[in-house]
Amino acid sequence: MENQEIFSLLATYDHEQIVFCNDNATGLKAIIAIHNTVLGPGLGGTRIWNYKNDAEAIYDVMRLSRGMTYKAAISGLNLGGAKAVIIGDATKIKTEALMRKFGRFVENLNGKYITAEDVNTTTRDMEYVQMETSHVVGLPESMGGGGDPSPVTAYGVYMGMKASAKNVFGSDSLAGKKVAVQGIGKVGGHLLEFLHKEGAELIIADINETVLKHYAETIGAKVVAGDEIYSQAVDIFAPCALGAILNDANIAKLKCAVIAGAANNQLAEEEVHGPLLIQKGITYAPDFLINAGGLINVYQEHIGYNRETAYRKAEHIYDVTLEILKVSADEKIHTQKAAINLAEKRIKDIAKVRATY
């Protein structure tokens, strides 16, 4: 990657535009990657990360922005894919001036890029960004935004899980089903509540003991230590903590029929681990499809927030998951591939109607 020419990289991932933003006065070094705007303006969060070098930052922002294109496309949203990274240690570089300067750069793109919070950026940071641009979503409810998107994300994951259950077990009821959830954070916590309400038997793991104790006491979830979550004999495994956990070592341990969770980029290598899961007889609900509830929620904010509509759109993840599982079986391709194909098809179809944003 380090020696790859920048335009050949853009061509490889088929990006429209990369914007490098530098400001010596505030110390801002940011990259905005706009992957594809056929469906609408590129929306994606701004991540602050202390990358080892510029090449690593470029690779990350390109990979993440492409992921946003697929997530928006498969969710039926009129949004394109983009992402931004600010380079540096968030605990040291973040100031009001730096965030507002970043907002100026976003404003200069005239709405082609819409930003939101992401890793190491908060709602407070977005308030600073909003002082300089209106092209920002994920604002608190008090400012007319949609607030925390996690409940909608969890609802979408729950819908994807039920559709997968319907496909694999013949019924979408999760009553009595054993579900192992890894990561009981903002999304995992809400997901547990949906599952508990439906009568699922829950097994949980997290690195936060307090959270585990809470759910063991309140809903009777069984707690297992760290990596033991992978080897639980369960119907469904829901990764809701980290990416790239579906690798050779962990897949070898799995004893589940379905994987359906919120974490982004669960497959360590799509073309290796997607097919491997099929070989093991495990049905994988594509992450970017079933965790799109958060994006659906911020899209609503972009067009005029309405919580009910956000939930209704997230409910549609059920039907799309069923469709993807059918295509995967009919065309004998892994589910992630089937989902990417469907997203690409929508972009191709709409490109006949309108060009880029």
Q: Could you give the CA distance from residue 179 to residue 349 in angstroms, rounded to a whole number?
A: 38
Among 117, 132, 201, 206, which residue interacts with ligand NAD (rule: CB under 6 A)?
A: 206
Question: Residue 39 in 3-state DSSP?
Answer: coil
C-beta separation of 154 from 292 below 8 A: no
Shortest Å distance, C-beta 247 to ligand NAD:
13
Residues within window 248-287 making contact with ligand NAD, judged by CB under 6 A = 262-264
What does the H/E/C string look like for 264-318?
CCCECCHHHHHHHHHHCCCEECCHHHHCCHHHHHHHHHHHCCCHHHHHHHHHCHH
84 binds ligand NAD (CB under 6 A): no
Task: Tell me which stretch binds ligand NAD (CB under 6 A): 162-170, 181-189, 247-255, 277-285.
Answer: 181-189
Q: Which stretch binds ligand NAD (CB under 6 A): 149-157, 246-254, 276-284, 339-347?
A: 149-157
Instruction: Give a three-class secondary structure readout of 127-143.
Output: HHHHCCCCCECCCCHHH
Position among 73, 187, 259, 343 found at the interface with ligand NAD (CB under 6 A) = 187
Token reading at 172: 């979408």
Least distance in Å: CB of 290 to ligand NAD?
9
Residues 208-227 that bind ligand NAD (CB under 6 A): 208, 211, 226
Q: Is 178 a catalytic residue?
A: no
- Which amino acid is residue 352, in one-letter code? K
Residue 138 found at the interface with ligand NAD (CB under 6 A): no
DSSP letter for each residue of 84-95: EEEES-HHHH--
Residue from the set 46, 150, 164, 283 that interacts with ligand NAD by CB under 6 A: 150
Q: Of 29, 71, 83, 177, which is the active-site residue?
A: 83
139 binds ligand NAD (CB under 6 A): no
Q: Pick the closest to residue 18 from 30, 28, 3 (CA basis).
A: 30
Closest to ligand NAD by CB, 186 or 222: 186
Least separation, in Å, of the C-beta of 288 and ligand NAD? 9
CA nearest to 280, candidates 315, 246, 307: 246
**Under rule CB under 6 A, residue 184 binds ligand NAD:** yes
Q: What is the DSSP string of 308-350?
A: HHHHHHHHTHHHHHHHHHHHHHHHT--HHHHHHHHHHHHHHHH
Using CB under 6 A as the binding rule, the residues of this chain from 22 to 41 that contact ligand NAD are none
Q: Which is nearer to ligand NAD, 208 or 218 (CB)?
A: 208
352: left (phi over 0), alpha (psi -120 to 50) or beta: alpha
The residues binding ligand NAD (CB under 6 A) are 149-150, 153, 182-188, 205-208, 211, 226, 240-243, 262-264, 291, 294
Instruction: State the catalytic residues.
Output: 83
